[in-house]
């Protein structure tokens, strides 16, 4: 059942609103700009598709067009942040942090200045553009970097909140956004705190044991980004089979909410991670690094398995790369089998 | 001690340095070169040619050009000096020590465990270094971003409204980096006249002479084409360099780049212009010999300007 404390939208299973997470960035940037005059937005010739244009319309004097130059965008922003501005740098994730990783490492992360790197069009769901533009390694690149906060919002509303929070963080931040319209699951009332994850779906038989002798929770699913929705659909489907799933929205991949992840994994005894990213170095990697030490339980991974993407529709690609609802259902059943051995 | 007081006099009265002042600065540069050799010997690694070649310019910057206060490295109105080619940081550390930021003896901690004087400079470790650098080609972007942000907060009608200038020291070899030309394009397009860039044109890099490895010329024309005001100076002629820094302040529409022609390893005749000294420190015997030469040359430098 939906965790009532998550205050999710009432219509999410019937007719959810569909909005791309990049729109949440666009809204959030304007709100952050209103709240703090130090906020500036830089764009590398992609202001419409990154929604940086929304900020430009509101604050033309605080919008900086960099041209097609992502390395310069990162380093100019580092200088501006060093001065005292709060720069958001916007491009496609394939180019930023894809192309300008070293500049981000040295001049933003090691320099420890509050630049917010916004990687748009992340994941295979960019669709027809193909593998060059389908960034699947950005979380790995940014997570390995000291001083860097990594946020992967699940929907446009959370993206808005994350953008506002990032402007206040006072530290280097990476945020990842998608191009496609995806379901809006959260509401203004849904809790959001950087580094503190939330469960959105909980076992309906919290008390006692079920007929098969399993504890009340069979599996915990740690999902990040818009694939949280597929995870919810999978959990709902399995509830009908009396398989009790907890779904947690891991919007902050770094710093990882170690305490909550370990306690949920311990309670369930089996874990599935879900992300539109390479499993290596992504949420799957991060979760495993933690649980191998603190709570070694069986884990299955939904995500891209050491492959590049290709052209197609978002739906085709999510299915092709085994990130659909049926794949999550199968992974949950598989990890339960492993647990029972 | 606030150096700005002297610089103010220089701007307002445009008085040339007296011979005695030139003499004093030359002696200071020589002392800084000696400190650099001592640091490199103590560290056992590091770069020799660049720091020696830039000693005159760093002396001019810290003892004449920059508005700064060694006792208050975070003074809001200080001029900002970004060092893009972080590997010549020994000359910056040595000059900062001689200017009073920290004791000269601390220079011997260069590259040691736990030291503030990291092998390449880090903003959060040593107050006054302004930014973290080492990987080449990104200092000019940071300086440009800083200058742009400062100008945003000043009057939009007056690019000089910000009450400090931004300086960026670069190597010539790093002009092979694409990021640097992106920065040059940005600074030119945005008319960042509150920015002065300084290029150590010593014609060497690790693998050889720059024009053999990957030619940079015509460097001045390239900058002009990108919208910069270009000045060329003898990087060992302190009055000439200071005059160029003053001229840059008067240029209203463009950023200024000072191409300072320098001799790598300057001051130690055996290693001058030898690219093999780009990235290695002296041995103990060599250090003794280099220090002796620098001390002896002290008299010669004096006589050249008298």
B interface test, pick of A59, A66, A79 with most B CB neighbours within 10 Å: A79
Ordered by where they begin, the domains of chain B are 4-304 (3.40.50.970)
Which residues on chain A are in Cβ contact (under 8 Å) with B122? Answer: 110-111
User: How is domain A4-14+190-340 classified at the CATH fold level?
Assistant: Rossmann fold (3.40.50)
Which residues on chain A are in Cβ contact (under 8 Å) with B183? Answer: 72, 75-76
Taking the alpha carbons of B72, B84, B227, B242 in that order, is the dihedral positive or negative?
A: positive
How far, in Å, CA of B49 to CA of B280, rounded? Answer: 8
Whether residue B134 lies within 8 A of chain A, CB to CB, comes out as: yes
**CATH homologous superfamily for the domain A18-183:** Thiamin diphosphate (ThDP)-binding fold, Pyr/PP domains (3.40.50.970)
pLDDT of chain A along its 341 residues, tens only? Answer: 999 999 999 999 999 999 999 999 999 999 999 999 999 999 999 999 999 999 999 999 999 999 999 999 999 999 999 999 999 999 999 999 999 999 999 999 999 999 999 999 999 999 999 999 999 999 999 999 999 999 999 999 999 999 999 999 999 999 999 999 999 999 999 999 999 999 999 987 644 444 443 458 999 999 999 999 999 999 999 999 999 999 999 999 999 999 999 999 999 999 999 999 999 999 999 999 999 999 999 999 999 999 999 999 999 999 999 999 999 999 999 999 998 65
CA nearest to A39 within chain B: B149
Question: Which of A40, A61, A107 is opposite residue B142, by nearest beta carbon?
Answer: A107
Residue A117, exposed/middle/buried by CB under 10 A (0-12, 13-18, 19+)? Answer: buried
How far, in Å, CA of B198 to CA of B195, rounded? Answer: 10
Mean pLDDT of B195-217: 97
How far, in Å, CA of B99 to CA of B245, rounded? Answer: 19
In this prediction the ipTM stands at: 0.92
Question: Which of B122, B134, B141 is opposite residue A75, by nearest beta carbon?
Answer: B141
Q: Token pair for residue B27? A: 């002696």
> Interior CA angle at A71 toward A65 and A72, to 5°?
45
E strand spans, A190-327: 198-201, 219-223, 245-249, 252-254, 271-278, 299-304
Which residues on chain A are in Cβ contact (under 8 Å) with B126? Answer: none
How far, in Å, CA of B54 to CA of B266, rounded? Answer: 8
Whether residue A41 lies within 8 A of chain B, CB to CB, comes out as: no
Condensed to tens digits (0 to 9), the pLDDT of residues A228-285 reads 999 999 999 999 999 999 999 999 999 999 999 999 999 999 999 999 999 999 999 9
Do A18-183 and A4-14+190-340 fall under one CATH topology?
Answer: yes
Taking the alpha carbons of B156, B160, B161, B162 in that order, is the dihedral positive or negative?
A: positive
In three-state secondary structure terms, B250 is helix
Q: Give start and end residues of each alpha helix (H) in B154-218.
A: 178-189, 210-213
Strands B204-205 and B208-209: antiparallel
Strands A63-65 and A39-43: parallel
The yes-or-no answer on residue A137 being catalytic is no
pLDDT at B303 over 70: no
Higher pLDDT, B158 or A286: A286
Q: Token pair for residue B90? A: 């020994």
> Interior CA angle at B160 toward B157 and B165, to 5°?
150
Whether residue B118 lies within 8 A of chain A, CB to CB, comes out as: no
- Domain positions in chain A: 4-14+190-340, 18-183
Q: Is pTM beyond 0.90 here?
A: yes
Q: Which residues of B82-98 are buried (b: 16+ CB within 10 A; e: fewer)?
A: bbbbbbbbbbbbbbbbb
Q: In chain B, how long is the greatest CA-to-CA distance? A: 58
Q: What is the least distance, in Å, from the CA of A26 to any CA of chain B?
A: 22
pLDDT interval class at B204 (50, 70, 90)? very high
Output DSSP code: residue A240.
T
């Amino acid at each position: 059942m939906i965790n009532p404390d998550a205050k999710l939208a009432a219509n999410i299973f019937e007719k959810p609103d569909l909005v791309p997470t990049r729109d949440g960035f666009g809204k959030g940037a304007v709100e952050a700009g209103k709240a703090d005059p130090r906020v500036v937005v830089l764009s590398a010739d992609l202001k419409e598709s990154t929604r940086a244009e929304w900020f430009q319309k509101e604050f033309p004097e605080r919008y900086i067009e960099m041209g097609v130059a992502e390395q310069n965008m990162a380093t100019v922003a580092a200088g501006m942040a060093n001065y005292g501005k709060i720069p958001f740098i916007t491009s496609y994730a394939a180019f930023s942090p894809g192309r300008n990783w070293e500049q981000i490492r040295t001049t933003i992360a090691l320099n420890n200045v509050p630049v917010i790197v916004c990687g748009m069009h992340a994941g295979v769901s960019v669709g027809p553009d193909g593998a060059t533009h389908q960034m699947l390694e950005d979380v790995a690149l940014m997570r390995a970097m000291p001083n860097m906060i990594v946020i992967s919002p699940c929907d446009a509303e959370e993206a808005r909140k994350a953008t506002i929070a990032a402007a206040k963080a006072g530290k280097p931040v990476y945020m990842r956004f998608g191009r496609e319209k995806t379901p809006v699951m959260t509401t203004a009332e849904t809790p959001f705190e950087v580094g503190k994850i939330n469960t959105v779906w909980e076992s309906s038989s919290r008390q006692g044991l079920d007929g098969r002798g399993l504890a009340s929770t069979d599996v915990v699913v740690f999902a990040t980004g818009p694939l949280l929705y597929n995870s919810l659909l999978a959990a709902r489907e399995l509830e009908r089979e009396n398989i009790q799933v907890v779904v947690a929205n891991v919007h902050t991949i770094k710093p990882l909410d170690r305490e909550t992840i370990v306690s949920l994994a311990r309670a369930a005894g089996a874990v599935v991670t879900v992300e539109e990213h390479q499993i290596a170095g992504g949420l799957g990697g991060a979760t495993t690094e933690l649980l191998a030490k603190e709570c070694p339980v069986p884990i299955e991974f939904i995500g891209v398995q050491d492959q590049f993407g290709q052209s197609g529709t978002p739906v085709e690609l999510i299915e092709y790369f085994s990130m659909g609802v049926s794949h999550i259902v199968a992974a949950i059943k598989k990890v339960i089998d492993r647990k029972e051995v | 001690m606030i150096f700005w007081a002297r610089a103010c006099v220089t701007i307002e009265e445009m008085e040339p340095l007296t011979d005695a002042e030139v003499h004093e600065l030359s002696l200071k540069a020589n002392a800084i070169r000696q400190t650099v050799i001592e640091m490199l010997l103590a560290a056992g690694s590091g770069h020799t040619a660049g720091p020696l070649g830039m000693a005159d310019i760093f002396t001019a910057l810290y003892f004449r050009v920059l508005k700064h206060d060694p006792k208050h490295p975070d003074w809001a109105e200080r001029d900002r000096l970004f060092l893009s080619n972080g590997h010549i940081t020994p000359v910056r550390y040595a000059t900062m020590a001689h200017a009073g930021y920290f004791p000269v003896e601390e220079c011997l901690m260069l590259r040691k465990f736990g030291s503030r004087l990291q092998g390449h400079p880090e903003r959060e470790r040593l107050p006054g270094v302004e930014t973290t650098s080492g990987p080449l080609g990104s200092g000019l972007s940071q300086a440009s971003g800083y200058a742009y942000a400062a100008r945003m907060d000043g009057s939009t009608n007056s690019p000089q409204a910000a009450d400090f200038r931004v300086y960026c020291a670069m190597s010539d070899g790093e002009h092979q980096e694409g990021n640097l030309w992106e920065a040059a394009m940005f600074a030119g397009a945005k008319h960042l006249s509150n920015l002065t860039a300084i290029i150590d044109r010593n014609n060497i890099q690790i693998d050889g002479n720059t024009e053999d490895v990957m030619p940079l010329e015509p460097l001045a024309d390239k900058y002009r084409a990108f919208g910069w005001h270009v000045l060329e100076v003898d990087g060992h002629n302190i009055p000439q360099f200071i005059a160029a820094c003053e001229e840059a302040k008067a240029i209203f529409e463009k950023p200024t780049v000072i191409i300072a022609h320098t001799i790598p390893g300057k001051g130690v005749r055996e290693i001058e212009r030898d690219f093999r000294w780009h990235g290695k420190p002296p041995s103990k015997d060599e250090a003794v010999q280099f220090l002796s030469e620098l001390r002896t040359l002290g008299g010669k430098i004096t006589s050249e300007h008298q």
